[in-house]
Chain A
Amino acid sequence: MYAYDEFDQNLLTRRVAEFRQQTERYLDGRLSEDQFRPLRLMNGLYFELHAPMLRIAIPYGVLHADQLRTLARIARNYDRGFGHFTTRQNLQFNWPAVEMAPDILEELAGAQMHAMQTSGNCVRNITTDHLAGIAVDEIEDPRPWCELIRQWFTLHPEFLFLPRKFKIAVTGAPTDRAATLLNDIGLQIVRGDEGETGFRVLAGGGLGRTPVIGQVIREFLPRNELLAYLDAILRVYNQLGRRDNKHKARIKILVRETGVERFREMVEAEWRRVRERVPVVDSGEFESLRRQFALPAFEPVVDTAGFAARRMMEPAFARWLKHNTVDHRHAGYRAVFLSLKAPGQAPGDLDADRMDAVAALAERYSYAEIRTSHTQNLLLPHVRVDELHALWNALSALRLATPNIDGLTDMICCPGLDYCSLANAHSIPLAEEINERFAKIDAVHDIGELRINISGCMNACGHHHIGHIGILGVDKRGEEWYQLTLGGSAANNAALGERIGPAVARDAVVDAVDAIVRTYLEARLDDDEAFLQTYRRIGISPFKESVYGNPTR
Chain B
Amino acid sequence: MATRRVDTDSVDERLVVDVDTAVTVDELVARAAGARRVRIQVPSFTDGRVFSQVRALSETSTFDGEVEVHGDLLPDQLPLLEQYGVADIVLENGMDAADRPGYIRVAYRERLLRTMSSPRADTESMESDTLEKGVTR
Q: Give which listed residue, B52, B104, B115, contacts A285 with CB less than 8 A.
A: B115
Interface residues as binary, A310-326 with B (CB distance below 8 Å gives 1, 0 otherwise):
00000000000000000
- Whether A155 contacts B104 by the Cβ 8 Å rule is yes
| Chain A binding surface, main DSSP class | helix
Cα–Cα, bound, A239→B45 (Å): 15
Cα–Cα, bound, A121→B83 (Å): 20
User: In this assembly, does A25 line the interface, its C-beta being within 8 Å of a C-beta of chain B?
Assistant: yes
A-side interface residues, number (CB < 8 Å): 55
- Whether A161 contacts B48 by the Cβ 8 Å rule is yes
Query: Chain A interface: which of B5-13, B32-40, B117-125?
Result: B117-125
User: In this assembly, does A22 line the interface, its C-beta being within 8 Å of a C-beta of chain B?
Assistant: yes
Q: Which residues of A contact B59 (CB under 8 A)?
A: 273, 276-277
- Whether A17 contacts B113 by the Cβ 8 Å rule is no
Q: Which residues of B contact A275 (CB under 8 A)?
A: 120
Interface residues as binary, B47-86 with A (CB distance below 8 Å gives 1, 0 otherwise):
1110110011001000000000000001011011101100
Cα–Cα, bound, A289→B134 (Å): 33
Known: A157-B51, A160-B51. A282 touches B117 (CB 8 A): yes
Task: Using CB atoms and an 8 Å cutoff, list the residues of chain B in contact with chain A.
Answer: 24-25, 45-49, 51-52, 55-56, 59, 74, 76-77, 79-81, 83-84, 95-96, 99, 101, 103-104, 106-109, 111-113, 115-120, 126, 130-131, 133-137
Interface residues as binary, A145-165 with B (CB distance below 8 Å gives 1, 0 otherwise):
000100110111111111100
User: In this assembly, does A265 line the interface, its C-beta being within 8 Å of a C-beta of chain B?
Assistant: yes
Q: Which residues of A contact B81 (CB under 8 A)?
A: 157
User: In this assembly, does A539 line the interface, its C-beta being within 8 Å of a C-beta of chain B?
Assistant: no
- Whether B51 contacts A161 by the Cβ 8 Å rule is yes
- Whether B104 contacts A269 by the Cβ 8 Å rule is no
Q: Give which listed residue, B55, B74, B77, B118, contacts A279 with CB less than 8 A.
A: B118
Known: A239-B24, A277-B59, A281-B117. A160 touches B80 (CB 8 A): yes
- Whether A238 contacts B104 by the Cβ 8 Å rule is no
Query: Chain B interface: which of A7-15, A59-67, A499-507?
Result: A7-15
Cα–Cα, bound, A18→B108 (Å): 16
Q: Give which listed residue, B49, B79, B96, contacts A238 with CB less than 8 A.
A: B49
Cα–Cα, bound, A281→B131 (Å): 17
Q: Which residues of A contact B135 (CB under 8 A)?
A: 265, 268-269, 272
Chain A residues 94 to 148 lying within 8 A of chain B, measured CB to CB, are 121, 148
Cα–Cα, bound, A263→B95 (Å): 38
Q: Give which listed residue, A31, A158, A227, contacts B51 with CB less than 8 A.
A: A158
